[in-house]
Structure formats: C-alpha cells, structure tokens
C-alpha cells in the first residue's frame, strides 16, 4: 500500500495568536496537545471518553461570514481536527486586564464551583451558550440542554444552572472579535496556499513526493476524498471521532493513516428536494436532528436524548450510521422514516434502504473504497384536513422512544421508532425500526405486517404487541435483560397507541409523584 503525504502541521488560532504544531501524530488528541504541548492545564481530563465534560473546549469557524462556535470534548477530538479553526479554553475567557467572562463571573456569584475539577468544562459550555444566546434570556431548559454533556460529581447542578441564567444579567462579552476573524482568515489563506502548491489536476495521493509513515488528511472536496479512499482503503476513516476517539483513548488503538471526511463541502450540506431531504454524512448530529425536527417537531425530545450536546456537536449522522452499533439511536428512527443511504466511491454511487446496509453484528455493506455519502429521508406527508387535534385517526403518526438507565447522555437499552399512516381509523402503512434487540439495527417486519390493513384499535395493538415481543431474540447484558427488552418493546407500542389516542404527558419526565399537583 502507498502511504499518504506526511502529516501536515496543525494550525489553529488561540489566545490571540496562530499556533503551529509540527509532527503531531494522527491519533494524538486535542486534550493531549493542550495539556502536554501547550501547557494549558486548565482543561481537565476526567473520563477520557466524552462522558463527563471536564475537557470541554469551544471551537469556532467562519461559515458564510458568520462565526460558528460550539462546545466539544477535547479528550476524543483529534488534534488535527482543529486545523484551521479558532479554539478557546478556559484560559482564554478573561480579558487581558483580568476581567472575567460572564460565564466565570456568574459561576463565582452563584457558587457554582465545589471541587472545581469539572468547573472549566462547565464554564466552557456556559461560554458557548452565552455566545449562542448573545444576551437573550436563558430558560432553565435551555441551560440544562447546554450542560447535558457536563457531569458534576458532587451534584451541584442547581447553582450551576443558576449561573447559566444569571449570565444574561452581565454585559455580553462575545468571542467573535476582529482579532479572531483576522486569525481565521490568515489560517484560510495558509490552507489555500498549501492546496495551490500541489500540482493541479492530479489526485492528492499521486502528488506526494516523500511518502511518510503517518498522516492525517482532511480533503475539502468529494472527488479528492473518493480518490484517496480508493488509493488507501486501509486508512482509518473518521468523522466527528466520537466513536473512533474511544478506540484510541480506551482501547489504545493506533492508526498510521487517518482520512477525515468532515471538511468535504458536499458532505456538510443538507439539501431539500420536493419529496425528501438529503443529509450529508458529515453533517453534525446537532444540525441533522435540527433538520429532522424541522420536518417532524414531535422528534424534538428524542433528539435531545442522543448523547450530550458536545458529542452531538462533534459527532455526525454519517458516523452513527456507518458505525452500525445495534444500540445506535438514529438508525431505528431513520428506518421507521424510510431513509435510504447513498454510498459513494470513485466508481460511482449506489443507494439502498438503510436496513439493508446492516449485514451482521458490526458488518455493513460498505465496500473498501466506499464512503457513506448521504442519508435521504422522506418528508412527512401533508397532514389531512380532517385530522383530529386529540387523536391520529388519519395521516402519519410518528414517535420514537429511547429507554436508557440515565436520561442524559446514556446509551439505549432499547430504542423503538414507529410511523403509521392511518386513514379513517385503519392502518394503511406501518414502519417500525428497533435498536437494542438484535445484532444490528432492524426493521420489525412481522409487526409491520401484523398492523398493515388492520383497524387502529386496542385489539389490533394487543395482537401487534405480542408479535413485536416475539419478533426478536435480544441478548441480556449490562444495560438490560433479554426479558426486559422484549417486555418493554411491547409496552412502547402500547404507549404509542395511547399517544395516538390523545394521551399526553405519559413519559417519566412528566410524572408527578403523589398525583397531579393543584
């Protein structure tokens, strides 16, 4: 196998200057570079696997002239992935005269720090929230979502949430300064000059003069990515690295060559067509779910159940689908919605229903020279005029349920997504995707058949519940027993029925102990 070009320097804008780091190994994490090379030890390491948020930093890039900032976990982000970006750690928030950022001042004023170890991560999530809200009021719910990736082991959440809301009373201090913009433009010029230095009209791989043993390559257009994938099928493909990062930090795997898909412009877009949307594989989970929620607002609460915000900011929909975990959350939903995958290679494109992509445990139909290009999702059918406000006798009715031990930032024991098309109280079509019940994400075909054509009533639902419980043979593991998984599958179908009949607030979050309060 040929090797890719030797590892490029990593350049990013931080603390008012462009940092250029040479010889950074492709699997070196951003946290390692920050703490060990730059001695920015304000950023802490807690879990090293994206769970606790102690390592949270803010990254920024210019998109169509706007500075786009977001909180991410530096422990599972590869250092090369911030090449060309602006970066803020807790050391960068106070102004040179020592005035604290509102996120810091509010934490002090509200007594939001106890052990202090988690505090830099909380502060960075708050700084990202302040930037996003730009002086607008922050609700408790918004604060809670912004902090969904931060764990305080001494459970001091109330003062931290108070601090989030108190930031708005302090003068807004934007991260978007002329200095940052100048730095980002300078980085963009360097990247353009580097690209221009390569001979035009030839694939990057062929232009390499001195092949080296390690490399990190992040092509910016699809043609280049596909050429590289074909030439180097053994290179480790990465996107947001929220799965791959753990292979590095927890399994101590090393990759000599890494091919990053997240800079490819064509894969960063969401395209709208009359009947469907096409979500590029490198679109972040945050943006992909926002697009799905815009089509189907009923998915909002499920979207917030996927990991925590920093993981959703870094992770991609394509990575979730390609990783193919049987307990991955987007796949049951996408299967129920009738999504297709477009796989791309230098040879061309092919398309398939998502469920056909999964062949066996962690085995997919992806060929060595292919990448996942787009996920196409049908738009909802227009709601019929006759649709009742309290029940779903007509039209499409979609729900997705995630069962996990912890509400925030946890992996599913079972995930069930359902979409029925009803007409005059009869099931015209049924589409069910399930996770956590088989070796791959699956379509519940037998249950769909049991529902199709039947009157939408409690008898039909009871019969379908029995079919659904018998359709799969889930395993018992640390998340749930096989018996629990089967039982809960049926119960979720019953819940779906209740919701279709207008029952609301039947989830755990809405439960008021001791009955309804006056």
Ligand X SMILES: Cc1cc2nc3c(=O)[nH]c(=O)nc-3n(C[C@H](O)[C@H](O)[C@H](O)COP(=O)(O)OP(=O)(O)OC[C@H]3O[C@@H](n4cnc5c(N)ncnc54)[C@H](O)[C@@H]3O)c2cc1C
Instruction: Give the interface with ligand X as residue ranges (CB under 6 A).
Output: 49-51, 237-244, 246, 261, 281, 285, 306-307, 311, 315-316, 318-320, 322-323, 328-329, 366, 371-372, 409, 411
The region of 152-160, 229-237, 250-258, 319-327 touching ligand FES under the rule CB under 6 A is 152-160
Q: Among residue numbers 107 through 126, which ones bind ligand FES (CB under 6 A)?
A: 113-119
Residue number of the CB closest to ligand X reads 319
| Total number of residues that touch ligand FES (CB under 6 A) | 23
Confirm or reject binding of residue 154 to ligand FES (CB under 6 A). yes
* 489 interacts with, out of ligand FES, ligand X, none, CB within 5 to 8 A per kind: none
C-alpha–C-alpha distance, residues 238 and 31, integer Å: 18
C-alpha–C-alpha distance, residues 154 and 251, integer Å: 28
CB of 115 to ligand FES, least distance (A): 4
* 117 interacts with, out of ligand X, ligand FES, none, CB within 5 to 8 A per kind: ligand FES
* 322 interacts with, out of ligand FES, ligand X, none, CB within 5 to 8 A per kind: ligand X
Confirm or reject binding of residue 75 to ligand FES (CB under 6 A). yes
* 372 interacts with, out of ligand FES, ligand X, none, CB within 5 to 8 A per kind: ligand X
Q: How does DSSP classify residue 137?
A: -
C-alpha–C-alpha distance, residues 294 and 299, integer Å: 9
Concatenate the DSSP letters of all residues of 338-382 into one string.
T-EEEEEETTEEEEEEGGGGEEETTEES--TT-EEEEEEEEPPPP
Confirm or reject binding of residue 52 to ligand FES (CB under 6 A). yes
C-alpha–C-alpha distance, residues 87 and 70, integer Å: 10
Q: Using alpha carbons, list the distances in angstroms from residue 282 to 120, 217, 268.
A: 28, 15, 5
* 238 interacts with, out of ligand X, ligand FES, none, CB within 5 to 8 A per kind: ligand X
Confirm or reject binding of residue 308 to ligand FES (CB under 6 A). no
CB-hemisphere CA count at 13 Å for 157?
A: 14
C-alpha–C-alpha distance, residues 152 and 124, integer Å: 14
Please pick, from the candidates 73, 104, 148, 262, the single residue that binds ligand FES as defined by CB under 6 A.
73
Please pick, from the candidates 42, 84, 156, 159, the single residue that binds ligand FES as defined by CB under 6 A.
156
C-alpha–C-alpha distance, residues 333 and 42, integer Å: 39
Return the H-helix or E-strand segment holding 468.
helix 458-471
DSSP helix/strand/coil, 375: strand
Return the H-helix or E-strand segment holding 313.
helix 309-314
Which residues sit at the interface with ligand FES, rule CB under 6 A? 45-48, 50-55, 73, 75, 113-119, 152-154, 156
């Amino acid at each position: 196998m040929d090797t890719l070009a030797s590892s490029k320097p990593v350049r990013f804008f931080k603390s008012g200057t462009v940092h250029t780091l040479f010889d950074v190994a492709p699997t070196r994490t951003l946290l390692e570079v920050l703490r060990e090379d730059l001695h920015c030890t304000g950023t802490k390491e807690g879990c090293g696997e994206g769970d606790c948020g102690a390592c949270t930093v803010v990254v920024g890039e210019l998109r169509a002239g706007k500075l786009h900032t977001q909180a991410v976990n530096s422990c599972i982000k590869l250092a090369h992935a911030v090449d060309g970006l602006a970066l803020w750690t807790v050391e960068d928030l106070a102004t040179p005269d020592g005035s604290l950022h509102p996120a810091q001042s509010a934490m002090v004023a509200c007594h939001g720090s106890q052990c202090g170890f988690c505090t830099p991560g909380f502060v960075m999530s708050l700084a990202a929230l302040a930037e996003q809200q730009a002086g607008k009021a922050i609700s408790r719910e918004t604060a809670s979502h912004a902090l969904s990736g931060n764990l305080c082991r001494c459970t001091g959440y109330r003062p931290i949430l108070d601090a989030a809301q108190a930031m708005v009373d302090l003068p807004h201090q934007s991260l978007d300064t002329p200095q940052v913009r100048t730095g980002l433009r300078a980085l963009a010029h360097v990247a353009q000059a580097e690209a221009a230095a390569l001979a035009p009209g030839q694939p990057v791989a062929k232009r390499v003069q001195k092949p080296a043993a390690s490399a990190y390559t992040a092509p910016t257009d699809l043609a280049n990515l596909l050429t590289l994938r074909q030439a180097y099928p053994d290179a480790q493909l990465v996107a947001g690295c929220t799965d791959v990062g753990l292979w590095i930090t927890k399994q101590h795997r090393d990759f000599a060559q890494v091919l990053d898909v997240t800079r490819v412009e064509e894969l960063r877009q969401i395209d709208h067509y009359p009947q469907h949307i096409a979500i590029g594989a490198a679109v972040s989970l945050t943006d992909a779910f926002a697009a799905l929620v815009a089509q189907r607002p009923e998915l909002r609460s499920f979207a917030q159940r996927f990991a925590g915000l920093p993981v959703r900011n870094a992770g991609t929909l394509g990575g979730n689908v390609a990783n193919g975990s049987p307990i991955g959350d987007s796949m049951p939903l996408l299967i129920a919605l009738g999504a297709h995958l477009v796989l791309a290679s230098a040879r061309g494109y092919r398309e398939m229903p998502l469920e056909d992509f999964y062949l066996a445990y962690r085995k997919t139909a992806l060929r060595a020279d292919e990448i996942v290009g787009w996920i196409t999702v049908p738009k909802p059918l227009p709601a019929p005029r006759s649709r009742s406000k309290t029940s779903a006798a007509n039209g499409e009715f979609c729900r997705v349920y995630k069962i996990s031990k912890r509400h925030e930032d946890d992996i599913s024991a079972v995930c069930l997504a359902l979409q029925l098309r009803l007409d005059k109280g009869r099931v015209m079509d049924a589409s069910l995707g399930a996770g956590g019940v088989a070796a791959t994400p699956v379509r519940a075909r037998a249950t769909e058949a049991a529902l199709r054509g039947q009157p939408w009533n409690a008898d039909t639902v009871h019969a379908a519940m029995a079919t659904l419980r018998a359709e799969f043979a889930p395993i018992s593991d640390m998340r749930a027993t096989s018996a629990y998984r089967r039982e809960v599958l049926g119960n979720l179908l019953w819940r779906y029925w209740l919701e279709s009949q207008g029952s609301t607030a039947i989830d755990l979050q809405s439960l008021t102990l001791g009955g309804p309060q006056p």
